[in-house]
């Protein structure tokens, strides 16, 4: 028996599957979310989580979670933790990265088929991909399942099996940092969470400070493509990354993930094109940059004429986890190498 694990966006799901199949092809039918994100959509929610637990400092000054702790996840479900979970399953690569960053290696008893970072994640039992393997999940006996790729319907299906499910839905880098702090609270790893977030804030500041002097006229127009013919508009953190890096997303007048009009991209005439470095077409074996350059009329785009087409690491950009600010740095370097590498 298997339960469908839907992504943040119906379109985003196929894209991330395409990105997860590195070197195995990424045709047009594979459009959607990240490496088994894996990016990562609870619908019918605003993505806000609340915590009613207190976290007083111990005598040694270290923050310790006070249980019972009650939180509300992105599906609007209130969950009470009587103690720190001892057995954890992650059903999103981004959540897996967060949990490992908090030092919860021993507590993690299951991950998705797409989890590949850190290296220790590859040794964990697999709980399925876009379809959750319910038998494996039940056998793992988790105290809680964390996910950023699950909608309310699927979450309720698993809860009906007696499984505690906490769904995340970060839409901005700030959301990602807040989710890490909340995971630290739930798992009684607040000190570790604070250290992770502090590092992320430093990485974020290194970018915003580098580009803060740019005038509107100096800002470069940017187009990003992560699956053949698909891009991202406003409302997703990848669009926010372009903005924070001092760029102007040429697809920012639309929302979410969508299939492009080639003529519109030519008309927008981006200065820089960012693409998924790992996408390879199954039939032709062409990489995504080759496919982009071969499109009719695209040789007139400034980015292609000036060889400003840059491949980026999919996982750094498509997973809303602790490395998302490293992805932001890579975006900024691609758009403004002279500012990021003075």
Under 8 Å between Cβ of 138 and 3: no
d(CA 21, CA 281) in angstroms, rounded, equals 11
Q: What is the pTM of this model?
A: 0.83
d(CA 46, CA 246) in angstroms, rounded, equals 27
Q: Which CATH number does the domain 69-170 belong to among 3.20.20.70, 1.10.3720.10, 3.40.50.1980, 3.30.750.24? A: 3.40.50.1980
Under 8 Å between Cβ of 41 and 12: yes
Reduced to 3 states (helix: H, G, I; strand: E, B; else coil), residue 51 is strand
10-residue mean pLDDT profile of the chain (342 residues): values are 41 38 34 37 40 48 90 95 98 97 98 95 94 94 93 91 94 95 98 98 98 96 94 90 97 93 97 94 92 96 97 90 97 96 69
d(CA 314, CA 305) in angstroms, rounded, equals 24
Fold (CATH) for 214-340: Rossmann fold (3.40.50)
Residues of the chain within CATH 3.40.50.1980 domain(s) are 69-170, 214-340
Q: State the pLDDT at residue 115.
A: 95
Helices (H), the chain: 10-20, 93-101, 134-140, 152-159, 173-186, 190-211, 237-244, 262-268, 288-293, 302-305, 314-318, 324-335, 337-340
d(CA 159, CA 157) in angstroms, rounded, equals 5
Token pair for 19:
């990105």
Residue 33 burial by CB count (10 A; 0-12/13-18/19+): exposed, middle or buried? Answer: buried
Token pair for 154:
């699927």
């Amino acid at each position: 028996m298997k339960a469908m694990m839907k992504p943040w966006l119906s379109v985003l799901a196929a894209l991330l599957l395409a990105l997860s199949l590195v070197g195995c092809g990424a045709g047009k039918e594979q459009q959607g979310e990240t490496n088994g994100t894996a990016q990562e959509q609870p619908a019918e929610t605003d993505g806000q989580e609340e915590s009613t637990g207190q976290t007083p400092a111990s005598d040694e000054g270290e923050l310790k979670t006070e249980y019972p702790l009650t939180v509300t996840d992105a599906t609007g479900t209130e969950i009470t933790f009587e103690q720190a979970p001892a057995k954890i399953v992650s059903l999103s690569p981004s959540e897996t990265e967060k949990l490992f960053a908090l030092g919860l290696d021993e507590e993690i008893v299951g991950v998705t088929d797409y989890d590949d970072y850190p290296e220790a994640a590859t040794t964990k039992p697999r709980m399925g991909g876009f379809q959750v393997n319910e038998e494996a999940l039940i056998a793992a006996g988790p105290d809680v399942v964390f996910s950023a790729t699950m909608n309310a319907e699927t979450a309720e299906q698993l809860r009906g099996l007696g499984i505690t499910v906490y769904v995340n839905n970060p839409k901005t880098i700030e959301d990602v940092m807040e989710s890490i702090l909340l995971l630290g609270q739930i798992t009684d790893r607040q000190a570790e969470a604070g250290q992770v977030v502090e590092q992320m804030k430093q990485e974020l500041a290194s970018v915003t400070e580098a580009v803060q002097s740019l005038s509107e006229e100096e800002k470069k127009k940017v187009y990003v493509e992560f699956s053949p013919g698909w891009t991202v508009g406003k409302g997703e953190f990848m669009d926010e990354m372009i903005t924070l890096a001092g760029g102007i997303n040429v697809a920012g007048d639309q929302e979410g993930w969508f299939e492009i009009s080639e003529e519109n991209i030519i008309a927008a005439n981006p200065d820089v094109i960012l693409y998924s470095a790992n996408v390879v077409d199954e039939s032709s074996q062409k990489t995504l940059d080759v496919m982009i350059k071969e499109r009719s009329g695209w040789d007139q785009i400034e980015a292609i004429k000036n060889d400003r087409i840059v491949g980026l690491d999919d996982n750094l950009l498509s997973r809303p986890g602790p490395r998302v600010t490293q992805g932001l740095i890579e975006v900024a370097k691609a758009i403004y190498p002279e500012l990021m590498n003075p």
